Amino acid sequence: MNDDFLFADDQFDDEVVATVGSWKVLIVDDEPEVHAVTKLALSDFTFQDRTLEFISAYSGEEGKELIIKHPDAAIILLDVVMETDDAGLQVAKFIREEAKNQKIRIILRTGQPGQAPERQVIVNFDINDYKSKTELTAQKLFTVVMSSLRAYRDIIALEHSRQGLKKIIEASANIFSIHSMDQFIDGVLQQLTSVLGCGEEKAMYVTNSLMVNCTESEHQQNLRVIAAQGDFENTVGKSVNDVLEDELRLAFEEAITNKSIVYHGDYLVAYCSSRFSSNSILYISGLPTNVGVDEKVLIEMFAQNVQIAYENVQLQIELEDTQRELVYRLGEAVEQCSTETGNHVRRVANISHMLASKSGLSVSDAELVKNAAPLHDIGKVGIPEHILHKAGKLDPDEWQMMQTHAQVGYKILEGSNRNIIKAGAIIAKEHHENWDGTGYPDGKSGEDIHVFARIVALADVYDALRHKRCYKEQWEPEETHKFIMEQSGKKFDPKLVSILMDSAAELEQLMNLYPD
C-alpha cells in the first residue's frame, strides 16, 4: 500500500464538535487496511453537525447486500478490483440499475488505474468520482467526501420538496372533496400533519367577516371561531378575545397586519386571503420546533388552498341547503293542498333515512333517500281537490283518478340530471307498488321495486296511520304496528318491516320531532 494513503503528514484538528445524527458511508474494499485508514482519516469529520457512520464490506457481493440493507447511505467508497477485476464496476451498475438507488454518491477508488481506465469508467458507469489510491491523501479524501455529502444533501432536499409538493396536491384534493364544515377542520389538520409530519394536533380556524372595512385596532373585535379542535373544542361562535391568551392575540394581530404567516415556538398563525369573501386566520399548534425554509414554503402554499377550500365548503353547503329546502317546501305545498300536513313530509324523510341507514344502504344513498322522500306525492298536483279532500271512500272512477298521481309525479320529475330529482322520480312512481305485486301503476313486486320506493312506501304509510286525516282518525302505535306486521310480505318489504319494528323507540322520537 502506498504510504501517502496513510496520511502521515496531514494535520488533524483536535477540536470536539457537538453532533446530531450521522451520515452513512459504505466502504467496499477487499483490503482491511483501507478500511482502517479511511476511518482514521475521517474520524473527526462532521458536516451540518452530523458525523460519519462507517459500514464495511470486503467483496462486491457483500457490497450489494449493504446497498439493499442501507438504502439511506450517502456515500459508497468502492474499490474496483476485488474478487474479480471488475467487481466494483458491477456493484456500481447494480446500485443504479437493480437497486434503483440514484441518491447515493459513488466514489470509485482503485490501486490499479490501468485495470479500469478513468475515461472509460466515467463514460460507461454512473459514478460520481474516480480516484487512484496513490493520489488520495487525507486532505483529498476529506474534500471528496465533503463535496459528495453536499451533493447528496441537495438531492435529498430536492426529493423532499418533490414529496412535499405531491402531498400539497393530494392534501388540496382531499380538502376540496370535503362537503361538510364538521369535516373541514379535521381535513385541514390531517393534511397539514401529513405535509409536515407533525405530532400533537390542536387547532382552530377563525374568520373575520369585516376584514376589509376594519381599522387595525378593531381587527380582534371582529374575529370569531367557526371551527375548532383540541383545547379549543368548545369555542365555536365565541370571540377570539374571549378565547386567546395575550401572546396568541398578538400573533393574530401580527398575521393580520402583515398578511403573512407568523411562527412562534410550536405554533403558527396563518393569514389566508380571499378575493371572493372574508379573509381568514388559521392557528395550529404542535408543529416541529425546527420548521425549515422548505416546510414554510409548503405551509404557505397549503394556507392559500385552505381558504379556497373553505369557501368551496361554504358554497357546497349553501347549494345543498338551498336544494334541500326547495324540495321540502315543494313537498309541503303539495301535502297542504291535499289531506296531509306539511310536517308529514319531514317525518317521512326522517323515517326513510333511518330505514335506509339500517338496511345497509351507503351513507350517501341514505342521505339521498331522505332528501328525495318529500317528493313522493308530487303527482297529487294533478288530482282534483274534490277527490283529494273527500271524507268518505272514493268510488271506482275517483280511485282510478287518484292512482294516476304516481305516473303524474314521475312525469314531472323525469329527465333530470340531479340525483335528488332522479331519486324523487323513482319514488314518486313506485312508492305505491306492493311487495306481492298488487300495487300500481305497473304491478311490480319484490325487489323489482326500487329499494328507495320500498323504503318511502313503508315510512309514508306508517306516518299516515299515526296521524289524523279527513278520511280517518289517528291510530295508536300498537294498532299501527299490528297492521304493518300483517302487511309484511304483502304490501311491504319484510326486511324493512323487521327493521321498523325493531326501531320502535327511535320511531317515537321521530314522531315527536315534527308534530302536526
Q: Which of 281, 287, 426, 299 is nearest to 352 (CA)?
A: 426
Strand partners, 204: 228, 283
Q: Is 380 labeled as catalytic in the residue annotation?
A: yes
Name, in order, each residue with C-beta under 8 angstroms of 91's C-beta and a sequence gap of 6 or more. 28, 60, 63, 64, 67, 76, 78
Catalytically annotated residue among 133, 167, 370, 380: 380
470 contacts 339 by C-beta, under 8 angstroms:
yes
SS3 461: helix
SS3 116: coil
Helical H runs in 19-137? 32-41, 60-69, 87-97, 118-124
Residue 512 and residue 507: Cα distance in Å, rounded? 9
20 contacts 50 by C-beta, under 8 angstroms:
yes
Largest CA distance in the chain: 119
Return the HEC string of 330-362: HHHHHHHHCCCCHHHHHHHHHHHHHHHHHCCCC
Q: What is the DSSP string of 357-386?
A: HHTT--HHHHHHHHHHGGGTTGGGGGS-HH
Name, in order, each residue with C-beta under 8 angstroms of 92's C-beta and a sequence gap of 6 or more. 78, 106, 108, 125, 126, 127
Residue 412, amino acid: I
Geometric angle at alpha carbon 221, from 216 and 226, rounded to 5°: 115
Grid coordinates representing 511 are 314522531
Q: Would you name the residues annotated as active-site residues?
A: 380
